[in-house]
Chain A
């Protein structure tokens, strides 16, 4: 039966291409001189604080941008994160990585922005875990072919990804960003968001399936360029 499996479809367990995000993984595990710099920063050495920040800033900004979906808000979040980190530095006990601690502050600031901007109901991370399995079942099932993202120019692709992520409900979006874009573990994500591990897993599954469903409109095989663009515009 295995010869029925089309090219490009891997049925092995696990993701195979996560190595492309290795620079982020490096950030999480090998922040240079972290222990020394944190101790110096806590002792009042501003340059040590700045050196720590400069290793993390662009990643913190990406978290802020992906959660808020808005560049101005992301800039504000980055600024508030740095200010809060500086004033709260004395309370950092090294129980997590400095970067994880910083992202946790950024996530809280970003969610404040999202809640404030949202004209709809309040975004709450304490909502019960959804159990409706019927809503999980994919509706659109179409092959994307090999490297569907390569059918788009880089800026066009980036726009599609940003807009698709932005349309995802915040309580799913934040989990997806931390787990799948920033590569935090399920446990780290749960700790950062004050949620249980099962709740993170449940929301991650829904986030992945909803994004897949929406990207399907752009990536399904056989679409020509004009139709792809029309689909992406209609997202």
Chain B
């Protein structure tokens, strides 16, 4: 396998979507190609770092503003416990 073939199949490899034979061929290439090992590892790390990002909480004043707008525009009559956001 050539390096460019590995790059073309990189996503499918990282997503576990390659068949056994292709995965084996790619793994075998990685055993002797340090550059490709680094690319695989750092691409995997890139995905994992973004995967770990937490959802962002809205600041209270933004929540209040959004709630007011939504209640007005939707015409909803909500009790405090059912407030949006």
Which residues in A have some Cβ–Cβ distance to B below 8 Å? 1-2, 4-6, 8-18, 20-21, 46-47, 50-51, 53-54, 57-59, 61-62, 65, 75, 78-79, 82-83, 86, 133, 136-138, 141-144, 148-149, 157-158, 161, 165, 176, 180-181, 183, 201, 204-205, 208-209, 211-212, 215-216, 219
Contacts and interface: CB of A to CB of B under 8 A. Distances in A.
Contacts of B45: 144, 148, 219
Nearest to A142: B38
B60 interface: no
Contacts of A176: 50
Interface residues of B, number: 55
B7 interface: yes
Given A8-B41, A47-B78, A165-B50, A15 B15 contact: yes
Nearest to A8: B41
A53 B84 contact: yes
A22 B57 CA distance: 18
A61 B10 CA distance: 30
A197 to B, nearest CB: 11
Contacts of B50: 161, 165, 176, 180-181, 211
A161 B56 CA distance: 14
A213 to B, nearest CB: 9
B66 A12 contact: no
B42 A144 contact: yes
B30 to A, nearest CB: 5
A157 B39 CA distance: 21
Contact of A13 (B13, B62, B69, B83): B13
B43 A209 contact: yes
Contact of A62 (B37, B49, B55, B62): B55
A128 B74 CA distance: 40
A17 B84 contact: no
Contact of A212 (B15, B43, B52, B73): B43
Contact of B53 (A14, A18, A181): A181
